[in-house]
Amino acid sequence: MAKNEIERAYLWLLKNYPNRPKYENIPETYKKYVERETLTLKEEYREKISVVATGGKFEILHPGHIYLFEKAKKLGDLMIVVVAEDSVIRKVKNRDPIFNQAERIRMLNSLKSVDLAIPGVEDRILTVEAVQPDIIVYGYDQALLDISRAKLRKKPDIVRMNRLEQYSSSSILKRYL
């Protein structure tokens, strides 16, 4: 069993998030790694990979984000990025997003340091439960998510990244708009 085959099985399952595939639709090569009832990796395989997760709006992709993803990727085998819904930007910024969630996911999935970008959902605990991260990475300005009610295989380590001084989406927007 190759570690990268386990990683591919994990990513295949997560690509279908927030929808759950039927067991019958899982590729035959991955079925041996998957719990039929929960459609998650069997623990004996999941413990062989380290999953790092971060999340955010990522409305304007800039070098500070790239720094975050590259540093976070070094902490584990797989780097998962959860992208906030458009409604979050409308609520927090009081305007429509510059790029919609699907566009932001597509941009992030093109980065070498990101193994998979997935859509976030309103109840962020559901996303954390789907990802089952070993490490959660927060940007310098992000509030910690209370994951105490999440059903997790193990409590993830929490890492906060430093800010690259000259970069923030808000300052970039103010400068150019």
> What residues are paired with 41 via a beta bridge?
34
Give the model's confidence band at 165: pLDDT under 50 very low, under 70 low, under 90 confident, else very high: low
Comparing CA positions, the residue from 130, 167, 164, 166 lying closest to residue 55 is 130
C-alpha 107 chain-centroid distance: 14
pLDDT digits (tens, 9 = 90+) for 2-26: 789 999 999 999 998 888 889 999 9
Give the model's confidence band at 167: pLDDT under 50 very low, under 70 low, under 90 confident, else very high: low
Distance, CA of 76 to CA of 98 (rounded, Å): 31
Both tokens of residue 31? 């079925």
- What is the structure's pLDDT at 19? 86
User: Which SS3 state, helix, strand or coil, does residue 146 take?
Assistant: coil
Distance, CA of 119 to CA of 121 (rounded, Å): 6
Distance, CA of 32 to CA of 25 (rounded, Å): 13
The model scores a pTM over 0.85 = yes
pLDDT digits (tens, 9 = 90+) for 121-162: 989 999 999 999 999 999 888 889 999 999 999 999 999 988
| 171 has pLDDT over 80 | no
Comparing CA positions, the residue from 153, 149, 133, 142 lying closest to residue 43 is 153
Give the model's confidence band at 99: pLDDT under 50 very low, under 70 low, under 90 confident, else very high: very high
Backbone dihedral region for residue 165 (phi beyond 0: left; psi -120 to 50: alpha; all else: beta): alpha
Is 115:11 a contact under the CB 8 Å cutoff? yes
